[in-house]
Structure formats: C-alpha cells, structure tokens
Structure 1
Amino acid sequence: MKLPQNKKEFALFMVVISIISVNIIAPLITFFELGFHMYIWADTIKVIPFIWIAVIALVLITYKPAECLTSRVVKEGDSFGAHIVINILFTVFLMSIFLTVIGTWIGSRHISMEPIRMFFYKWPRNFAIAFFVEACIAQPIARLVMVKIHQYKDSKAQKVQT
C-alpha cells in the first residue's frame, strides 16, 4: 500500500518526494552557506527548477545502485521499515555526494573547483539535512499519497464488484 505499484505511480511518488525535498533542502543548505535573509531565499527560488531537474536525473541514475546496496544490508525477513530506512540512507548518500558539487554549481551559476575543494567540509552537513528531510518529511508524505491512491482504487474496485 505504501509503495508505487506501477510506472505511473512511481513517477508520481518521485515527483512528490523531489518537489518537497528540493523546496526544503536547497534553501536550507543555501541559508547555512550564505545566511538567513529574504534576498537569499528569493535568489534560491530562482534556481530551484534547475536543481529539481538535476535531482530527477540523479534519482534515476542512483536508483539501481541504492537498491543494490540496500539488498546487501537488509535481508528478506527484515521489516518494511528497515528496508525503507536503509534505502533512504543509501539513496541520500549517493545523491548528496553528487548534489554537494552539482547543486553548488547550479546555485552559484558557474562551474568551479570550490565545491570539490570544500567537499569534505560541506558534504556531512548536506547529507544530514537531506537525510532528515527525506526520512521525516518527504518520504512519509509520498507514502501517504500512495496509501490514499491505493485506498481509493480499492474502494472503487469494491464498488464495481457489488
């Protein structure tokens, strides 16, 4: 009930998670970098669509590797929660590595060596922010959307049967 059951639902699931994540994570990381000011938030809002495109591309690129790493840690008998938390951990781990560099390039609107040079200083904070947002906000909301869709489909199917 909490997971997408087809490609259309997977696309919706990914859109819900990515929109929530990008709109929370990007401004938070930017605020920690540059300060908590309205003009910084306004500037961040302008680049969010480009960051969102990068996030969608990275989700599609890191989906299989994250699944592979998850299967190495959790076993078939482990709980649904264990599978989800470990999958979120690996997905955020892989994506945060790339987005610490790519997100800085998009946000600053130029490519430089600065995000690579400062990677080990900035990545732990970025990872922690992203993991918290994914595990506590974005994924639970997306799973609730899936549950509601599946409940609606089930009730619709029951009405057809009667």
Structure 2
Amino acid sequence: MEFYMKLPRSKKEFAIFLGIVSIISVNIIAPLITCFEAGFYLSVWQDVLTVLPFIWMSVIGAVLLTYMPAEKLTSIIVSKKDSFHAQIIVNTLCTVFLMSILLTIIGIWIGTRSITLEPIRLFFYKWPHNFAISLFVELCIAQPAARLAILKLHLWKDAKKAKER
C-alpha cells in the first residue's frame, strides 16, 4: 500500500516528485559541499547561489540518466518481497551512488566555470565526502518530504474521487 500511496503513479506525479526532491537537494547539498570546501562565508554562499540554476539542470539530467541503471541495481540487491522502507533505502543508495559520481565532476565544472581535469584527478578525494552529504540529505530530508507531498496528493485525489461517487 505504501508503494501506491507514497510514490508517483503517473509521469505528471513523477515530475512533481522529481521537482520537490531536486529543489530541496540542490539548495542544501550544493551550498554545503561548497562551504565545506571553501569555507562558511557569506561570499561563498552567494557565489553558490549564482550557479544553482545550472546545478539544478544538471541534477535533473543526472536523475533522468541514472534512473534506469539505479532501478536495475536496486532490483539486484532487494527482492519484490522486501519491505517498502528497505526498497526505498536501497533505491536511494543506488541513485545517490550513481548521481554523486557524475555530479562530483559536473558540479565542480559548473562551480568553477571551467572544464578541466582537476575534478577527475581529485575524484577519489572529493567523492566520498560528496556522497555522504548527498545520501544524508536524500534519506533524511528531500525524499521523505517528496513522499509526504505525494501521499498528501494521493489522499486528496482519492477523497475527491470518493466524493464524486
């Protein structure tokens, strides 16, 4: 029942879910990672705000690019009989794993406004940190908020259908 109520049922609901998760994630993860790297200063945060729209677009692209591979990886790790929470945690883990690989490189390119080999050279130094921050934000803030919004949407739609009968 939780799958039916807390996850998107249509492409439109998927877009809503993706929008909620991506906006929350980008507005928390990008500033945190940058501030840990460059320092917690107002000027650093303001600089991050100028590139957030570009990071958000790259996050949307990364989600769409990694969605199917993350689903396949999740199906290898968990079975259909596992609980909703087990499947959600593993799916989030797989999604964040794949996306953090891409965004560790792309995010630095966007943030520094230059395409260099530096993020690739420093990848194994930066990626674990980025992965940990992203996983925490996704598991504890962004995805629960989006699932709650989808649940509320489904409850509203179901109540509306019940009234029409």
Tell me the TM-score normalised to structure 1 length: 0.99
- For 2:80 and 2:50, the matched residues in 1 are separated by 44
Instruction: Name the SS for the 1:5 alignment partner.
Output: coil
Q: Which residue of the partner structure matches residue 121 of structure 2? A: 117
Aligned counterparts, 1:4-153, within 5 A = 4-153=8-157
Letter in structure 2 aligned against 1:7: K
Q: 1:61, CA displacement in angstroms?
A: 0.4
List runs of 5+ in structure 2 lacking aligned partners. Answer: none
Letter in structure 1 aligned against 2:69: P
* Over 4 Å off, 4+ runs: none
CA deviations 1:17-57 (Å, max 9, x no partner) are: 00000000000000011000001000100000000000000
Q: 1:77, CA displacement in angstroms?
A: 0.8
List runs of 5+ in structure 1 lacking aligned partners. Answer: none
- For 1:102 and 1:132, the matched residues in 2 are separated by 20
CA deviations 1:83-112 (Å, max 9, x no partner) are: 000000000000000100000000010011
Number of residues of Structure 1 aligned to a counterpart in Structure 2: 161
Instruction: Name the SS for the 2:6 alignment partner.
Output: coil
Q: 1:128, CA displacement in angstroms?
A: 0.1
Letter in structure 1 aligned against 2:83: S
Instruction: Name the SS for the 1:110 alignment partner.
Output: coil
Letter in structure 1 aligned against 2:82: D
Identity among equivalent pairs (%):
63
